[in-house]
Amino acid sequence: MPQVNIGVLISGSGTNLQSLIDNIESGSINGRITVVISNRKDAYGLERARQKNIAAVYLRQNNYESFEKFNDAIIDELKNYGVELVVLAGYLKILTSKFIKEYTNRIMNIHPSLIPAFCGKGYYGIKVHEEVINYGAKLSGATVHFVDEEADTGPIIIQEAVEVCYEDTADTLQQKVLKIEHKILPLAVKHYCDGKIQISGRKVKIKE
């Protein structure tokens, strides 16, 4: 099968981006990252991309007359680089309906909890882990899902759990979950690039 062109959207340090880069370099993923786009100029993920000679693009929302125009500019960049699969790897902006329709079932997101728990509007970053700790949950984890027009409601591709210990803090739990993220996001991308993902309504099947 030909390699799948991947575009990665980030807002921060890009550790999940690095996990994708590492898995592509090892030959595990039959794809290549053609562009990394960030809404933050100082996002270290852009530097990670540059170090690997991957196009690194910064787009500032305030440079556009509307949020819709900002998203249109991202779509244009993705098209310029022939992107077939979009991966949100710590991207902290919502996407417009037009964006999601343009890439229906071709946008993946990684979320640091077991959806549908501790997800939705306002649940991102360390806040997710703080809420898990405060609630006293015994399990947390990470979820890779396709993106639809609501927050964290798209079809689930892969989930993996971690135990929440009594002594855990939001910071220690975040580190546990990050290890899971770095494992299941590349795995989901690998399955996509191998043509093994089958979607029926909300249900996702990984074909053998």
> Is position 65 within any domain?
yes
> Is position 85 within any domain?
yes
Between CA 108 and CA 189 the distance in angstroms is 8
Between CA 191 and CA 204 the distance in angstroms is 11
pLDDT digits (tens, 9 = 90+) for 6-31: 999 999 999 999 999 999 999 999 99
> Is position 171 within any domain?
no
pLDDT digits (tens, 9 = 90+) for 119-175: 999 999 999 999 999 999 999 999 999 999 999 999 999 999 999 999 999 999 999
Range of the domain at 60: 1-103
pLDDT digits (tens, 9 = 90+) for 97-113: 999 999 999 999 999 99
pLDDT digits (tens, 9 = 90+) for 193-202: 999 999 999 9
Of these residues, 111, 129, 145, 182, which one is catalytic?
111
Task: Tell me what pLDDT residue 1 has.
Answer: 81
Burial class (CB in 10 A: 0-12, 13-18, 19+), 5: middle
Two tokens, residue 202: 């909300």
Output the domain CATH number for residue 25: 3.40.50.170
Two tokens, residue 125: 């970053």
Task: Tell me what pLDDT residue 131 has.
Answer: 98
CB atoms within 10 A of CB 2: 8
* pTM of structure: 0.96
Task: Tell me what pLDDT residue 208 has.
Answer: 86
CB atoms within 10 A of CB 27: 7
CB 192 within 8 A of CB 4: yes
Active-site residue flag, 145: no
> Is position 149 within any domain?
no
How many domains does the chain contain in total? Answer: 1
